[in-house]
Amino acid sequence: MSDTGITGLTEQLPPGTEKSLADIKLLKHVDAAAVSRLEEICTWLFCAKDGFVFDSDDDSGDVFFIVSGSVRASDNVDSETEVAFVDLGAGDIIGELSAIDNGPRSATIYALEDCIVAMVPKDVFLSYAHDYPDVMVGLMVHFVTIIRILNTRVVGLSSTTVVQRVYEKLLELADEDPVMPKRLVIEKMPKHKDIAIWTGTTPETVARAVGRLLEAEIAMRRFKTLHILDPGRLKALVDAS
Amino acid sequence: MRVVGHAKSGQEVAFVDLGEGIHFGELSAFDNAPRSATLYTLEDTLLAIAPGDAFIEFSRKYPTVAFRLLEHVVGTIRTLNSRVVGLSNTTEIQRVYNEILQLAEPDPSNPSHWVVRHMPNHRELAVWAGTVPETVAKAIGRLLETEVAKREYKTLHIFDRQRLLKMINE
């Protein structure tokens, strides 16, 4: 690691931590002996909630497997606006982009909850992938998935307004209302700041967009719950062009 | 070849232009999912096709090929990441100005001016800036009105590049 001082990583593991890579998706088709070989090489680390696994200045190229917990990959476009790329959880891999192309970190990674991660230095990871074609193919499939998600976001961002993206996110978060069949409901409405991070805007814009829905009686707020009274009208707003 | 995606409204969004020596179609070969984009030729093109399975077998056999593929897709991811950040953080008009700036070069006959020699049409600029041709027309109109730029046939003269930069970063 370039500078352990600035990350939230520590080798002090909670008691009883299981040092296993059995659930890492990338290693799903790799035989057990090969997985245990990697387990022996890894350094096992703990990162508390809100701590950084690495930030965009890190130049180590180390690769991390998330054994438990979850993290967010995001980019600070400026001090006000954070743009989230993806949330990752147990079984996922991080840091693999820089390991492969030696480029700078494309994102800052911070813990959304307490995490256990297993770290391998770049060169070790690459020679491991070289030895096991299944790992290479697994990496390709993994990257392809990321590309598809990003493609969809580029198209979405290019063709919708900020307010439309907020409404689209609300529809994505909503479930069917168990009591009122034609309505949708978001039981625990996320903070405006969190919705802003996903839709590439500011919390104020989210507040305004939600406020308009309440005024137009498309939605109703009760404490932490947002009731979507008229999902059809909300969908029409998302699709308007 | 141009790689494009389509929004629900039918609006076309360009991902990338590809030229000689480049491969494509590898996404569906690896995850068996439908094509993620539409490709069309920008000029007459000669292609070599390999079935997906054969291609994967080939890359398993030659780790060097697999590694080049990985480098390639990582490059794609980095480009897309910057576009997501860029699109999240700018208005459509700012993106049009940014595209124009990318095309501009210093004017040899007048050192304080910049020039775009072959201005693409509005539709072309819209596809790259993630907007519609009408917005491109409006954005360019504003540059002419405020005398930041002047149009002469296919050429756009930029008188005040600093001001244009400021308009992008506002």
Q: Where are the domains of chain A?
A: 4-158, 160-239
Q: Taking a C-beta distance cutoff of 8 angstroms, is the pair B81, A107 a contact?
A: yes
- Residue-wise pLDDT for B71-124, tens only, equals 999 999 988 888 887 777 778 888 899 889 888 888 888 878 899 988 999 988
Interchain proximity B81–A150, CB inside 8 Å: yes
- How many C-beta atoms lie closer than 10 Å to residue B152's C-beta? 9
Helix (H, G, I), strand (E, B) or coil at B92: helix
- What residue in B sits closest to A127 (Cα-Cα)? B63
Question: Contact B15/A151, CB-based, under 8 Å?
Answer: yes
Cβ within 8 Å, pair B37-A151: yes
Query: Are B9 and A159 inside 8 Å of each other by CB?
Result: yes
Chain B contact set for A144 (CB, 8 A): 26-27, 30-31, 73
Cα maximum dimension of chain A: 61
Residue B89: helix, strand or coil by DSSP? helix
The whole-angstrom separation of Cα B168 and Cα B68 is: 36
Tokens of A190: 């996320």
Residue B45 pLDDT: 95
Buried b (16+ CB within 10 A) or exposed e, A207-234: eebbeebeeeebbeeeeeebbbbbbeeb
Of A5 and B5, which is predicted with more confidence?
Answer: B5
- Number of residues written out for chain A: 241
Q: Which of B56, B81, B83 sits opposite A137 (nearest CB)?
A: B56
Interface of B with A in 43-72 (CB under 8 A): 56, 59-61, 63, 66-67, 69-71
B11:A157 CB<8 A:
no
What is the reported pLDDT for B88? 75
Residue A4, helix vs strand vs coil: helix
CATH of A160-239, one of 3.30.300.30, 3.30.590.20, 1.10.10.10, 3.90.1150.10: 1.10.10.10
How many C-beta atoms lie closer than 10 Å to residue B12's C-beta? 16
CB < 8 Å to A147, chain B: 27, 36, 73, 76-77, 80
pLDDT at position A81 is 64
Among B residues 100-159, those touching chain A with beta carbons less than 8 Å apart: 130-131
Residues of A in contact with B27 (CB under 8 A): 144, 147-148
Are the C-beta atoms of A186 and A157 separated by less than 8 Å?
Answer: no
pLDDT at A1: 42
Would you state the pLDDT for residue A80? 60
Secondary structure letter of residue A182 according to DSSP: T
Nearest CB to B30; choose among A97, A144, A241 = A144
Helices B133-145 and B122-129 pack at an angle, to 10 degrees, of 110
> Could you say which of 2.10.109.10, 3.40.50.11610, 2.60.120.10, 1.10.3260.10 is the CATH number of the domain covering A4-158?
2.60.120.10
pLDDT at A207: 92
Distance, CA of B74 to CA of B78 (rounded, Å): 6
B13 vs A73, A126, B42, B122, B129, CA distance in Å?
A: 25, 35, 15, 14, 8
Which is higher by pLDDT, B157 or A75?
B157
Mean pLDDT of B132-148: 91
Query: What does the CA dihedral A194, A201, A152, A84 come to, rounded to 10 degrees?
Result: -40
Residues of chain A neighbouring B31 (CB-CB closer than 8 A): 141, 144-145, 148
pLDDT at B54: 95
Do B36 and A148 make contact, defined as CB atoms within 8 angstroms? yes
In three-state secondary structure terms, B63 is helix
Question: According to the model, what pLDDT value does residue A194 have?
Answer: 87
Question: For position A149, what pLDDT does the model report?
Answer: 87
Give the distance from CA A216 to its chain's centroid.
33
Q: Starting at the edge strand that comes first in sequence, how are the strands of the sheet with B12-17 ordered?
A: B12-17, B2-6, B38-40
Residue A86 burial by Cβ neighbours in a 10 Å radius (0-12, 13-18, 19+): middle
CB contact under 8 A, A133 and B60: yes
Q: In 3D, which of A208, A84, A88 has the Cα closest to residue A153?
A: A84
For chain A, residues with pLDDT lower than 70 are 1-6, 76-81, 241
What value does the CA radius of gyration of chain B take, rounded to a whole number of Å? 20
Q: How many angstroms separate the CA atoms of B165 and B130, rounded? A: 19
Residue A230 · residue A170 · CB < 8 Å: no
How is B37-56 classified by DSSP, letter by letter? Answer: SEEE-SS--------HHHHH
Mean pLDDT over B142-147 rounds to 91
What is the pTM assigned to this prediction?
0.71
Model pLDDT, residue A10: 93
Is A158–B77 a contact, with Cβ atoms under 8 angstroms apart? no
Structural domains of chain B sorted by starting position, each given as residue range(s) with its CATH number in brackets: 2-89 (no CATH), 92-169 (1.10.10.10)
Q: Which residues of A touch B131 (CB under 8 A)?
A: 158
The complex's ipTM works out to 0.71
Q: What is the pLDDT of residues B34-86, one digit of tens each?
A: 888 899 999 999 999 999 999 999 999 999 999 999 999 999 998 888 888 77
